[in-house]
Amino acid sequence: MSVFGASRGNSEVFSGFMSSYKRVILCKYGEVALKGANKPHFEELMMKDLRERAARIGSFNIYSAQSTVYIEPQGDDDDIDAMLDEAAHTFGFSALTLAAVADKNIDDIKRVTVDYIVPALPAGASFRADAKRADKTFPMKSPEIAASVGEAVLEASPSLRVDLHNPDKNITVEVRERGAYIHGDQIKGAGGMPRGSNGRGILLLSGGIDSPVAGYMMMRRGVGLEAVHFESFPYTSEAAREKVLALAKILTSWCGSMKVHIISVTHIQEELKAHAKEDYFTLLLRRFMMRLSLRVQRFAGSDCLITGESLGQVASQTMQALAVTDEIADVPVFRPLIGMDKEEIVAISRKIGAFETSILPYEDCCTVFTPQHPKTRPSLENVIMQEKRIDVDALTDEAWSTHEIVTVE
C-alpha cells in the first residue's frame, strides 16, 4: 500500500471525460482466506449463498478470484445497493466495497476516479488516495498510481485537499487481474463461516432476547437452522406465536428461509401442575422440551440442539439444572451465550435488529405456572422420582402429535 502526496502545480489538464463507468461489489474473505486446500469448497458455498440472494434482485454475474468474490450487475437497472445489503448479510466475508471499474490504464483510472468519487465529496473535504497493485505487470508502481489519481482529483475539484492522517474520504485504487477497481471506505461484512459449512441445528426459539441471538451466533459459524417453539395455548396467545415467527423472520436475513416447528405443551404443563412438586416444575418442563426437540432434530435430520441459556441467568440455568436437562440429550446441545452477560447479549440483539421485537410483552410457556422457589441445585435422582408421577412417554407422544411446521421466508 502506498500513500498519495501530490502537489497541485504541475498536474495535467483533466476534464471532459464521459461520466459512465460500471460498478461492482468486491467481497473480501474473512477466515476463509486462511483455508488451504479446502478453500474452493468454502468459496462455492459463499457464492451459492450470494447467487440465491441475487436471483431475488436481478441479474448478476458472480465469480471469485484472488480471495475476493466479484458481483457484477448485468443490466443497467439491477439494484446494486439492494445486492450490497444482501452481501452484507452473507457469512464468510469480512469486508465489502462498492467499486467503480476502470480499464487497466492510468487515464481511465483517473477518469473513473474523478467521475465516481468527486461528486460524493463536499467542497473543502479532505481525502487520501492509496493504490494496491495486485497485477504486477501494470507499468506504474502503487505510489505512482496513487499520486497520479490524487492529482487528478485535485485538478477536477480544486477546493478539495489532501490529508494523509485524518481524511474525510479514503480513495483506494486496486489494480487486479481483470480491471482496476476504485472505491471509498469499505463496509463491514457479516464475518463468520459460510452458510451450510458446519452442519445443521435445531434452535429452541422462545420469544425472548436470548434465543434469537444464540441462533444468530451459530448461523454465523456456518450452521443451518430450523427452530422449534413450544406454546401453551390458551395460556399463551396467538400474538406470542406471531412474535416468535417475527423473530424467525429477522433471522432469515442471514439464512434465507427457516422452518419453525411448533409444538403444544399445554397438557404436559397441566399434568405437571397437578402431579409434580412445584419447585421441580420448570426443570421437568425443560426436560420435556429436550425430548420433543430431539424428536424435531431426528425428524429434520439435524445434528445438534441450540439454546439461549446463559450460566446462572435463572434457576433453570445453574450448572446442576443444565446437567439435569442435558441428561436427556444424545446429540450435542450448544449454548453459545453460556459465558455472556445480559448486556453483551442485548448489544448483539440490537445489532441484528431483534431487540425491539424481543421486548414486546408476551407470555412464554416457561412463564406459565412458574414456581415461587424453583430448584437451583436439583439432583437427577429426585427429578426422575418426580417424573414417575406422570406418564412421560404418553405425554411426549401426545405433544408430538400437535407438531406443526411453519416456513418463514
365 binds, among ligand ATP, Mg ion, none (CB under 5 to 8 A by kind): ligand ATP
Q: Which three cell numbers stand for residue 23?
A: 460498478
**Nearest-approach distance from CB 386 to Mg ion, in angstroms:** 23
Q: Which of residues 363-402 bind ligand ATP (CB under 6 A)?
A: 364-366
Among 162, 223, 167, residue whose Cα is nearest residue 192: 223
Q: Which stretch binds Mg ion (CB under 5 A): 146-154, 209-217, 323-331, 354-362?
A: 209-217
**Nearest-approach distance from CB 229 to ligand ATP, in angstroms:** 5
Q: Which three cell numbers stand for residue 272?
A: 405437571
Q: Which three cell numbers stand for residue 156?
A: 477536477
CA 289 to chain CA centroid, Å, is: 27
- CA-CA-CA-CA torsion for 90, 96, 98, 101, nearest 10 degrees? -110
Paired sense of beta strands 333-334 and 169-175, if any: unpaired
**Nearest-approach distance from CB 308 to Mg ion, in angstroms:** 5
Number of residues that bind Mg ion (CB under 5 A): 1
Q: Which three cell numbers stand for residue 148?
A: 497520479
Q: What is the DSSP string of 136-201?
A: TTSSS-HHHHHHHHHHHHHHH-TT-EE-SSS-SEEEEEEE-SS-EEEES--EE---SS-TTSS-EE
**Nearest-approach distance from CB 214 to Mg ion, in angstroms:** 9
86 binds, among Mg ion, ligand ATP, none (CB under 5 to 8 A by kind): none
Q: Exactly one of 197, 198, 206, 318 binds ligand ATP (CB under 6 A); which one?
A: 206
Number of residues that bind ligand ATP (CB under 6 A): 17
Give the three-class secondary structure for 218.
Answer: helix
**Residue 231 is a binding residue for Mg ion (CB under 5 A):** no
**Residue 215 is a binding residue for ligand ATP (CB under 6 A):** no
Q: Which three cell numbers stand for residue 408?
A: 418463514
Q: At 60, phi and psi to the nearest 5?
A: -130, 140
Q: Exactly one of 72, 151, 210, 231 binds Mg ion (CB under 5 A); which one?
A: 210
Rounded CA gap, 265 and 263, in Å? Answer: 6
- Compare residues 173 and 352 and give the one whose CB is closer to Mg ion: 352
91 binds, among Mg ion, ligand ATP, none (CB under 5 to 8 A by kind): none
Rounded CA gap, 374 and 154, in Å? Answer: 71
**Nearest-approach distance from CB 129 to ligand ATP, in angstroms:** 48
Q: Exactly one of 157, 309, 357, 399 binds ligand ATP (CB under 6 A); which one?
A: 309
Q: Exactly one of 149, 160, 209, 383 binds ligand ATP (CB under 6 A); which one?
A: 209
**Residue 300 is a binding residue for ligand ATP (CB under 6 A):** no
- Compare residues 32 and 268 and give the one whose CB is closer to ligand ATP: 268
Using CB under 6 A as the criterion, which residues of the chain lie in contact with ligand ATP when the complex forms?
A: 204-206, 208-211, 228-230, 307-309, 314, 364-366
Using CB under 5 A as the criterion, which residues of the chain lie in contact with Mg ion when the complex forms?
A: 210
